[in-house]
Amino acid sequence: MSNDWWSSISGLGQRHSQEADVPEQDETITSSLEAESVIVVSNRQPYRHRFESTADGEKSVAVDRPTGGLTAGLDPVMQRLNGTWIAWGDGDADRTVSNSDGQVRVPPEEPTYTLQRVWLSEADVAAYYYGYSNQALWPLCHVSLENTQFDIQQYRRYRAVNETFAETIVEHTTSESVIWFQDYHLACAPGMVREQCGDEQFLLHFWHIPWPTVPVFRICPQARALLKGLLGNDLIGFHVSEYCRNFCNCVSELLEDSSVDVAAGEITYNGRTTAVRAYPMGVDAERIKRRSLNVAESAWRTFKADWGIDPDVRLVLGVDRLDYTKGIPERLRSLERLWEERPRWRGRFTYVQKGSESRSQIEAYQQLQQTVREISARINERFGTDEWQPVVLIDAALSREQLSGLYRYSDVALVTPLRDGMNLVAQEYVAAQVDDDGVLILSELAGSHEQLGDAVLSINPYDISGQADAIERALTMPEAERRHRCRRLRRSVHENDLTAWLEDVFSTVSDCKSDKT
């Protein structure tokens, strides 16, 4: 989402219009699916049109393109399949370039598929997106209960928007359609589509965030309705098996008439069967590697100078949306603990926090941003000198090239979420380690830990001293161990890349489809 698809789907909304970031894929991904039969449905769109001012004061239309992650992965698939992508038209110039039915052919320079926009009012966005999606479902699924609020009006609007999506889907559906829903914004839509279309179409859903345990999920007053909506799907995918088990257990506990085989990931409800499977999402590792190899030394030096990063100290890096699930204050406190209790580390490394503003209309996010600024300022005040700034906050959206420089030249990456569906930053950092010398410190509570856990330094993000120890261990790790760990991580990230993920999902679709017919 965003900057890359996933961040954009979940609200980061930074995109770069320079270059379409298209992974190279082999055709097996699409060969098993009928042409014109795939409909992708997501909150955020792959292409967004917006007005920009030209030098002579005129207005022109610019297009933001997919720049990484799932959007960039699915875009070429859609181009080959000539399918339809249905999403909220949130760009200010979207209506100008769409036809009266809200459709525009994309990509703009060589159109091959249809982007069908769904128009939402400001009140819809406030209640469906900033409300129920991001103040009920997001915190609930991340077990951030203090940030969770269930507002019945927001829920009604969430359902109404899901209904709008469902109606739009039905207009595009044929009996051959494969309809692929993305994420927590659309939990009710599959049930609605199923009700209107019957059993012929193949519906699948990828849920990009964690699924909580039964005692947590049942807190939600709308828990049963959400489960029923999702069980309109033939297949539901999560990043890791833990979330699959949690989902199956929730259905088993909360829907009396269901029959659930947790081990097999099979649910029967209302006479229909839904398969529940884990598909750990990957990144476009090859492209990240090439980009990292191409980082110009001079551009990197300029970047450091621009941001006031001491050219001679080592770098520890964090790259996150500013979200309370990412564990940023806890991370900063562990750095503070390290510099406080082991003064020998003062002046020896700088922590760079690339923090993208996100969902700022929501108070919890404003508070988080303020907390991050306050702790950083306090640390800089306590330990900084004329020559050395301990914490550098970068809030600008970086180009992928700049991000590659940060990844490649940082000695250590701190990926320490309190809870995270997967976390693509961890994999991107690994893919960018073309010199085999970076150390990844990774939270045990990130989905990516299931795949990378063996070769990273694992931490519990709530354990401030434990994190401080891990940072010290990373900075003192012998070169041979660093290289050994790094090579293993890189192998894993390349083997389980975005293309492998897409192939895995689509091959299950074609297996399940043939079982169904």
Using CB under 6 A, pick the residue from 281, 295, 457, 509 that binds ligand GDG.
Answer: 281
Residue closer to ligand GDG by CB (options 155, 207) is 207
Candidates 222-230, 241-249, 380-388, 396-404: pick the segment binding ligand GDG (CB under 6 A).
Answer: 396-404
**Residue 137 token pair:** 């479902």
Using CB under 6 A, pick the residue from 159, 194, 291, 400 that binds ligand GDG.
Answer: 400
When asked if residue 428 is in the footprint of ligand GDG (CB under 6 A), the reply is yes
State the minimum distance, in angstroms, from the CB of residue 232 to ligand GDG: 21
- Picking from 516, 511, 506, the residue whose alpha carbon sits closest to that of residue 29 is 506
When asked if residue 418 is in the footprint of ligand GDG (CB under 6 A), the reply is no
State the minimum distance, in angstroms, from the CB of residue 185 to ligand GDG: 12
Residue closer to ligand GDG by CB (options 202, 324) is 324
When asked if residue 6 is in the footprint of ligand GDG (CB under 6 A), the reply is yes
Using CB under 6 A, pick the residue from 89, 318, 421, 461 that binds ligand GDG.
Answer: 421
State the minimum distance, in angstroms, from the CB of residue 284 to ligand GDG: 10
Report DSSP letters for 376-432, one per residue: HHHHHHHH--SS--SEEEE-SPPPHHHHHHHHHH-SEEEE--SSBS--HHHHHHHHT
Gap between the Cα atoms of 405 and 400, Å rounded: 9
Gap between the Cα atoms of 363 and 367, Å rounded: 6
Candidates 85-93, 211-219, 369-377, 397-405: pick the segment binding ligand GDG (CB under 6 A).
Answer: 397-405
When asked if residue 420 is in the footprint of ligand GDG (CB under 6 A), the reply is yes
3-state helix, strand, coil in the chain (%, to 5): 45, 20, 35
Write each residue from 309 to 338 as x if it is in contact with ligand GDG (CB under 6 A), else as -, in one continuous string. Answer: ----------x-x-----------------
Backbone angles phi, psi at 90, to 5 degrees: -105, 0
Candidates 170-178, 304-312, 422-430, 470-478: pick the segment binding ligand GDG (CB under 6 A).
Answer: 422-430
When asked if residue 397 is in the footprint of ligand GDG (CB under 6 A), the reply is yes
Residue closer to ligand GDG by CB (options 210, 260) is 210
State the minimum distance, in angstroms, from the CB of residue 2 to ligand GDG: 6
When asked if residue 496 is in the footprint of ligand GDG (CB under 6 A), the reply is no
Question: Rule CB under 6 A: which of 168-227 touch ligand GDG?
Answer: 208-209
Residue closer to ligand GDG by CB (options 12, 230) is 12
When asked if residue 134 is in the footprint of ligand GDG (CB under 6 A), the reply is no
When asked if residue 505 is in the footprint of ligand GDG (CB under 6 A), the reply is no
Any idea what the Cα angle at residue 187 is, between residues 256 and 64, rounded to 5°?
165
Candidates 25-33, 287-295, 328-336, 417-425: pick the segment binding ligand GDG (CB under 6 A).
Answer: 417-425
Total residues binding ligand GDG (CB under 6 A) = 27
Question: Rule CB under 6 A: which of 69-98 touch ligand GDG?
Answer: 69
Backbone angles phi, psi at 181, to 5 degrees: -85, 145
Non-local CB neighbours of 18 within 8 Å, separated by 6+ positions: 399
Candidates 2-10, 30-38, 220-228, 372-380: pick the segment binding ligand GDG (CB under 6 A).
Answer: 2-10
**Residue 190 token pair:** 């599959």
Strand residue runs (E) in 58-172: 59-64, 84-88, 103-106, 113-118
CA-CA-CA-CA torsion for 496, 497, 501, 502, nearest 10 degrees? -150
State the minimum distance, in angstroms, from the CB of residue 299 to ligand GDG: 15
Write each residue from 9 to 38 as x if it is in contact with ligand GDG (CB under 6 A), else as -, in one continuous string. Answer: -x-x-x------------------------
Gap between the Cα atoms of 503 and 517, Å rounded: 21
Non-local CB neighbours of 110 within 8 Å, separated by 6+ positions: none
Residue closer to ligand GDG by CB (options 284, 336) is 284
When asked if residue 64 is in the footprint of ligand GDG (CB under 6 A), the reply is no
Report DSSP letters for 170-224, one per residue: HHH--TT-EEEEESGGGSSHHHHHHHHHTTSSEEEEE--S----HHHHTTSTTHH
- Picking from 126, 12, 16, the residue whose alpha carbon sits closest to that of residue 357 is 12
At 258, the amino acid letter reads: S
Question: Rule CB under 6 A: which of 95-114 touch ligand GDG?
Answer: none
Gap between the Cα atoms of 125 and 167, Å rounded: 18
Residue closer to ligand GDG by CB (options 403, 456) is 403
Write each residue from 342 to 381 as x if it is in contact with ligand GDG (CB under 6 A), else as -, in one continuous string. Answer: ------------x-x-------------------------
Q: Which residues pair with 180 in a beta bridge?
A: 40, 204
What are the strands of the beta sheet with 266-269, ordered from one edge? Answer: 103-106, 113-118, 84-88, 38-42, 178-182, 202-206, 235-238, 272-278, 266-269, 259-261
Residue closer to ligand GDG by CB (options 346, 373) is 373
Cβ–Cβ under 8 Å, residues 9 and 182: yes
- Picking from 349, 494, 460, the residue whose alpha carbon sits closest to that of residue 411 is 349
Handedness of CA 151, 156, 160, 166 (dihedral sign): positive
Write each residue from 434 to 463 as x if it is in contact with ligand GDG (CB under 6 A), else as -, in one continuous string. Answer: ------------------------------
Handedness of CA 161, 162, 167, 169 (dihedral sign): positive
When asked if residue 403 is in the footprint of ligand GDG (CB under 6 A), the reply is yes
Alpha helices in 189-343 (DSSP H): 189-197, 214-217, 223-230, 241-254, 285-293, 297-306, 328-341
Binding site for ligand GDG (CB under 6 A): 3-4, 6-7, 10, 12, 14, 68-69, 208-209, 281, 319, 321, 354, 356, 397-398, 400, 403, 420-425, 428
